Structure 1
Amino acid sequence: MRSRRKLRFRLVVSFALFGFGLSALFAFAALNIRSRVEDQLVTATLIDEVNNLNQQVHEHPDQQPRFGIVEAWTWSDRTIYKAPLAWQSLANGVHDISEKGADGRLHRYKLAVEHKDGIYSFLRYDVSRDELGKQQLLFSVIGAVFLFGLLSLAIGLWLSRKVLKPVSQLAQRLREFRRLGKAEPLAPEFADDEVGELAQALDDYAARLTSMVERDREFNSDVSHELRTPLAVIASTTELLQGSPDLTPKLAERLKRIERASRQATELIEALLLLSRAERRGPTRGETTDVAKVAGDVIESQRPQIRDKPIAVYLDVRTPVSVNAPASVLAVALTNLIGNAIKYTLEGEVRVEVDANGIEVIDTGPGIKPEDAERLFQRGVRGEGAGGSGAGLGLAIVRRLCELYGWQVAMRPRGDRNGAIASLVFG
């Protein structure tokens, strides 16, 4: 197994380096933007000021030139009226004012005022360029934030793929195992880190699960074999007894019941064995099963249940249909659906209708509630008014068989009168 650093350590280091690098880049960008804006402002101010000085010298060579950025005025108590009216009432200190400059545009100034010993001193500084610099700096920083946000997103995506690559590889290998239907050891393919520990845990779980499934399959095979042997003996003995010349009608009827019960037990064992293996198997030699024939056999096997009840059972074959499934599987499903209809119907009729889509079993029993229709297919759930013995597993077995063969089974109440309708649709 390859030895690498822990995944947690790699995550911490990756994000630490990412945060440090991004902070360093942002600090560098902020300093660079500030330096460029400051240099641009200073250069523009100096150029404007030297042009202004040159213009003053050419226009008034006999006068002392004045600076445009910082200007100063002084007046006495007698000449203060010459100062701008808004300045005359200002107290000592620094004030923010806005006035039109020589270019006719509105400028912002800092005005320092000092009144002492009858002298008024005013010093005005133009801060318009500083405001422009702050605005440029703000726009530049906002642009840098968006730029570094996109950069961090790209780097984060790259780091996530890089750091979480082992997890993705583990998920991919698990999907391949599910597709191929076989499992191979995972741990040797991964590093000695958290992902490797997870792969080892999955290997251990798969080994325990495989062992349990193998034991379950062996148990089912052994039980199936052990049960089939006595059932075969019962069936052969019953067949021999039915051929006796001195057989009375009453004894012949009982032997037929034994034969039907033996056949049903054999079909049920085969269906349960298929469910335990989750194995879908068609009829032998590619043959199909006649649905109407199986339905008729099931109805005949249920005749003893209606001997003491005023119930009529009808088989209505509207369209012959065959399914690609063993007769035993179909017989188990129909035995539960038709048997339940007969069990819950105290009087009236049970009609079994066969058409091209499937089978419907319609009874005149007490019916079911719409909200209970789906719940009846759960293990251990029995219908209201169920009498006699039973564990509520019949419809659950039917549902599992239908899922195995792609069929659809459902229960719903009748709309015209009391009763229920069980439908089996072949996919």
Structure 2
Amino acid sequence: MRSRRKLRFRLVVSFALFGFGLSALFAVASLDIRTRVENQLITSSLQDEVDHLNTQVLEHPDRAPAFDIVKAASWSDRTIYKAPLTWQNLDTGVHDVYEAGPDGRQRHYKLAVRRKDGIISFLQYDVSRDELGKRQLLLAVIGAVFLFGLLSLALGLWLSRKVLKPVTQLAERLRHFRKNGKAEPLAPHFADDEVGELALALDEYSNRLTAMVERDREFNSDVSHELRTPLAVIASTTELLQGSPDLTDKLRERLKRIERASRQATEMIEALLLLSRAERRGPTRGETTEVAKVASDVIESQRPQMRDKPLEVELVVHSSLSVNAPASVLSVALTNLIGNAIKYTLEGTVTVLVEKDRIDVMDTGPGIKPEDAERLFQRGVRGEGAGGSGAGLGLAIVRRLCELYGWDVSMRPRADTNGAIASIVFQ
């Protein structure tokens, strides 16, 4: 495994260098902008002043020249009336004065006033050019901020891609494993840093998960073999016993019950194994399963539950319906639905209705509440009146089988009378 700096250390160093570099660039740019603006303003001001001075000397060589940037004048208390009207009542200090300049535009001046011993002195400085420089500096700084913002975005994208590249590679390898269906060690491909530790933890988790799946697969295989063998013996033995000529009708009926029970157990084992592997398997040789026939067999297998009950079970077939699923799966689902209807119905009728795309099991029992219809398909939940029998797993198994084959199973209360309707819609 390659040895590198920790990812946290690289992030800290990268952002520290990034911040230092960006601050240094901004400082250099600010100083450069300030220097350029100052030089430009000073050059422009001096050039304008010397041009004005030259013009005054040429036009009036006998007069003392006046200056626009700085002007000075002094008056006494008796001659102060000669000063501009806005200056005459100003106290000692520095004042902001806004007057029209030689070009007729409003300009901003700083006016220093000193009153002492009857002499009043004024010193005027034109700050309009400084304000122009400030505006130019502000615009330049805003432009620099925008430029450095774009530079920061570009550098941030580059740094994030560089620093987070190992994480992206780890995600790509995980997606590659998912596509190929096999897991390979991740840790050897990454450095000895946080991402490498994550890859090592994922390898350990994958090994534990693989071992657990393998144990589950072996357990299912062992259970399937160990349970199917005695059930096959029971089925063959009952078949042989039924062929005996000296059997009484009562014994023959009991042997049929044993045969039906062993067949149901075999079907339940097969369905549970399919659920444990989340494996959808269709009937052999492309055959389909006739829903009405399976429903009829289930009804016959459930007749012992109707003893001592004023209850009738009828099968109504409105349309022929076949599904692409093993008969054992359909039998397990219908056994739970029809068996529940018979168990909860003390008297009346249980009707199994086969339509062109669905099968409905309607009973005349106590019914269910609309808000409990979906909850009954959860593990461990039993309907009202269940007593102490059952673990509340039958409908949960039916739901899982239907989800495996893309069917829609539901329950709802009857609208015409007491009772409930359990439905499987085949899609």
TM-score by length of 1: 0.96
Residue type of the partner of 1:70?
V
For 1:227-252, what per-residue CA distance to the aligned partner results, in whole angstroms no more than 9, with x for missing partners?
11111111111111211212222222
For 1:17-46, what per-residue CA distance to the aligned partner results, in whole angstroms no more than 9, with x for missing partners?
111111112112211211221122112211
Q: Which runs of 5+ in 1 are unaligned?
A: none
- Could you say which residue in structure 2 is the equivalent of 1:76? 76
- Could you say which residue in structure 1 is the equivalent of 2:185? 185
- Could you say which residue in structure 2 is the equivalent of 1:237? 237
The question of 1:289 aligning with 2:289 is answered yes
- Once the two structures are TM-superposed, the CA of residue 134 in structure 1 deviates from its matched residue by 1.0
Matches within 5 A, 1:192-271: 192-271=192-271
Q: Find the aligned partners of 1:395 and 1:288 in 2 and give their Cα distance.
A: 24
- Could you say which residue in structure 1 is the equivalent of 2:110? 110
Residue type of the partner of 2:239?
E
Q: Find the aligned partners of 1:369 and 1:48 in 2 and give their Cα distance.
A: 96
Residue type of the partner of 2:119?
I
Change (3 A) 1:172 1:415: farther
Deviating beyond 3 angstroms after TM superposition, the runs of 4 or more aligned structure 1 residues are none
Matches within 5 A, 1:9-408: 9-408=9-408
- Once the two structures are TM-superposed, the CA of residue 67 in structure 1 deviates from its matched residue by 1.1
Residue type of the partner of 1:295?
A
- Once the two structures are TM-superposed, the CA of residue 369 in structure 1 deviates from its matched residue by 2.0
Q: Find the aligned partners of 1:178 and 1:312 in 2 and give their Cα distance.
A: 53
- Once the two structures are TM-superposed, the CA of residue 312 in structure 1 deviates from its matched residue by 2.3
Q: Find the aligned partners of 1:354 and 1:44 in 2 and give their Cα distance.
A: 100
- Once the two structures are TM-superposed, the CA of residue 203 in structure 1 deviates from its matched residue by 0.7
SS of 1:360's partner is strand
- Once the two structures are TM-superposed, the CA of residue 332 in structure 1 deviates from its matched residue by 0.8
Q: Find the aligned partners of 1:346 and 1:35 in 2 and give their Cα distance.
A: 101
SS of 1:319's partner is coil
Q: Find the aligned partners of 1:307 and 1:44 in 2 and give their Cα distance.
A: 116
Could you tell which deviates more after superposition, 19-28 or 312-321? 312-321
Could you tell which deviates more after superposition, 313-322 or 39-48? 313-322
For 1:61-113, what per-residue CA distance to the aligned partner results, in whole angstroms no more than 9, with x for missing partners?
11111110111111111000111222122111111111111111111111100
Q: Find the aligned partners of 2:220 and 2:192 in 1 and give their Cα distance.
A: 40
CA RMSD of aligned residues (A): 1.5
Q: Find the aligned partners of 1:193 and 1:368 in 2 and give their Cα distance.
A: 58
Q: Find the aligned partners of 2:119 and 2:47 in 1 and give their Cα distance.
A: 34
Q: Find the aligned partners of 1:112 and 1:69 in 2 and give their Cα distance.
A: 14
Q: Find the aligned partners of 1:295 and 1:263 in 2 and give their Cα distance.
A: 15
- Once the two structures are TM-superposed, the CA of residue 207 in structure 1 deviates from its matched residue by 0.7
Q: Find the aligned partners of 2:349 and 2:78 in 1 and give their Cα distance.
A: 127
Q: Find the aligned partners of 1:137 and 1:71 in 2 and give their Cα distance.
A: 27
Question: Matched residues, percent identical?
Answer: 81
For 1:189-230, what per-residue CA distance to the aligned partner results, in whole angstroms no more than 9, with x for missing partners?
111111111111111111111111111111111111111111
Q: Find the aligned partners of 1:344 and 1:117 in 2 and give their Cα distance.
A: 120
